[in-house]
Amino acid sequence: MNTPEKLVPTIHSWTEPYWKAARERKLMIQRCKDCKKHIFYPRICCPFCFSDQIEWVEASGKGKVHSYTVVQNNPPSAFVKDVPFIIAIVKLEEKVQMLTNIVGCDPEQVKCDMPVEVTFERVNDEITLPKFRPAGR
Amino acid sequence: MSKLKGNVAIVGIGEVPTGRFPDRDAIYHAIESSRLAIKDAGINKGDIDFVMPAAALYSAQFSTDLACSRIVEELGLKNVRTNCQIFGGGSTSACFMQLGGSLITSGIAKYVLCVQADRVGTGVTAQGGIDLFSAAGISSEWERPYGQHVSSVAALISTRYQYETGTSDRHMAAVCVSNRKWAELNPNAMYQKPLTIEEVLASKMLSTPLRAKESNMLCDGGSAFIMTSAERARDITDSPVYFFGEGSRVTHFALSQEPDLTRFGWAEAAKEAFEEAGLTPKDMHIAELYDSYPMIQLITFEEIGLCKRGEGGEMFLKGDTWPGGKIPTTTNGGMLSQGHTGAGGGVAILVEAVRQLMGKAGKRQVKGAQFAVETATGGTYMDVHVTILGNTIP
């Protein structure tokens, strides 16, 4: 079977700063100017207070693994050659949650609440995906 | 409190066996389920004035056919005012109840036919099924680029739930075994052979801690039911099943954005549903809980108040949920054993709740069952729906 291409995110006007920063290996997230809460993923308006006054700030890039799974069999066809790989939900210090991959980590070693930090994997000229690795390595 | 309480009833159910039927076009499942439901209700097909087909997943063409009144024409229903497609993924059953019930209490409709049919077993390849469901309720921008798919969704919830509650892999497997014990008694189930905990634990690891036999199997099938007013129901049948209460919440689109990965909104939804019904979890004779994967059935079981958090696994292991147990649960075998027909897994569970309360469940009939709690959830557990049904006015 031919492996289909992995899905690459489409860039929109309100997500463009996120992807531009990722290309520069920086993790930028939104913050609402009115209610001051951090926002992820990028929104058109604040999901907490409905304000449209949203700014971009650089995130700490540090967080904890809230949950994880090691994918071993039956992934989507574009990922068949990647197994085993780790999918995780990471909670950043800024209290936003992201779906991501944990890289640079033995699948046996990943644990809930393990500290992680951001790293970046280039996909193409436009898209670089933020991923996470064990903190302090 | 809605006007539906005590004023809406299900008066007929129909279902075809779930499984792999390469020679049966999907329309067969829709028409035969509908025909059986109309016959079961004992009404004339000309009484049906509103048809609500669920959207189908395996084929956009088939789904469009259903939106464009194919069922009305194939069944020869002559007095239908509206054919309106409904879809809430796994929650379609709850959408049927809320919307169909509202149409009846508002007087817009007298007899609503709700029907779901799909062919996600033989209509798509095995890998095609994985890819299809990897695009259902999973964000194309923020999750799919990382390889997120249905097994990893279930696995992420399981990991955190087991971490927080101490629920073991054996407890998770026990849910599959409990559902299979019921499916052994269900002639419409895809899997009717006995299953052991050891067999579940020895099956292929998909995404840790989720194993192959903890995963539902996509299949072909369909089910249907007829709703009408409680008043009309009493005139046409001795066994109407009444709607008594409902609670629901939408909590996310992308799983990674769910505020509480091990609770969702089940407790709040259940509180609303039981309060509306004027009943408590202890009053329930059966629990028809949406499964799809064991962790969601366990989380639901605990959060809606059938036991304390973290104690559900032991109850499934001991047999409290089995035939003859304290609280018979998911008595058709659920999607883990009866099979997953797209949005139909949830519809089949609702139909099973009604079947039990009508006293038509054959070998798996729970004797004297008067009240049931029934649940549904769609997408990547984007929402929670708790419904209380009964055959006796409390």
Interface check B380 vs A, CB under 8 A: no
Interface check A103 vs B, CB under 8 A: no
**Nearest Cα to Cα of residue B246 among B288, B275, B281:** B275
Query: Is the residue at A38 inside a domain?
Result: yes
Chain A residues within 8 A of B209 when measuring between CB atoms: 69
pLDDT in tens, B42-65: 999 999 999 999 999 999 999 999
CB B247 within 8 A of CB B53: no
Tokens standing for residue B353:
């709740």
Q: Decide if A73 and B130 are in contact by the 8 Å CB cutoff.
A: no
CB B58 within 8 A of CB B120: yes
Please check the confidence at residue A1 and state whether its pLDDT lies above 60.
Answer: no
Q: Which residues form the domain of A34?
A: 16-134
pLDDT in tens, B276-296: 999 999 999 999 999 999 999
Laid out side by side, the sheet with B220-229 consists of B82-83, B50-53, B112-119, B220-229, B8-19, B241-250, B383-390, B371-376, B286-288
Using a 10 angstrom Cβ sphere, with 0-12 exposed, 13-18 middle and 19 or more buried, the burial of residue B22 is exposed
Query: Is the residue at A67 inside a domain?
Result: yes
pLDDT score of A2: 65
CA–CA gap between residue B163 and residue B171 (Å, rounded):
13
CB B228 within 8 A of CB B242: no
Q: Which CATH number fits domain B8-123+218-236: 3.30.420.40, 3.40.50.300, 3.30.1300.10, 3.40.47.10?
A: 3.40.47.10
CB A7 within 8 A of CB B141: no
* Average pLDDT across chain B, whole number: 96
Percentage helix, strand, coil for chain A under 3-state DSSP, each rounded to 5: 10, 35, 55
Of B131, B155, B163, the CB nearest to A77: B131
pLDDT in tens, B189-244: 999 999 999 999 999 999 999 999 999 989 999 999 999 999 999 999 999 999 99
Query: Is the residue at A3 inside a domain?
Result: no
pLDDT in tens, A117-127: 999 999 999 99
Domains of chain B: which residue ranges? 8-123+218-236
Q: Could you tell me which residues come within 8 angstroms of residue B239 by beta carbon, excluding any fewer than 6 positions away?
A: B357, B358, B359, B360, B391
Tokens standing for residue A98:
């992201």
Please check the confidence at residue A48 and state whether its pLDDT lies above 70.
Answer: yes
**DSSP-based three-state secondary structure for B90:** strand
pLDDT in tens, B78-91: 999 999 999 999 99
Mean pLDDT of B123-148: 88
The structural domain count of chain A equals 1
pLDDT in tens, B170-197: 999 999 999 999 999 999 999 999 999 9
pLDDT score of B343: 85
Interface check B130 vs A, CB under 8 A: yes
Chain A residues within 8 A of B145 when measuring between CB atoms: 6-9, 123, 127, 129
**DSSP-based three-state secondary structure for B57:** coil
When pLDDT is cut at 50, 70 and 90, the band that residue B134 belongs to is confident
Share of chain B above pLDDT 90, in %: 93
When pLDDT is cut at 50, 70 and 90, the band that residue B132 belongs to is confident
CB B245 within 8 A of CB B388: yes
CA–CA gap between residue B187 and residue B192 (Å, rounded):
8
Say if the ipTM goes beyond 0.90.
yes
Interface check A69 vs B, CB under 8 A: yes
Mean pLDDT of B318-336: 98
Please check the confidence at residue B156 and state whether its pLDDT lies above 90.
Answer: yes
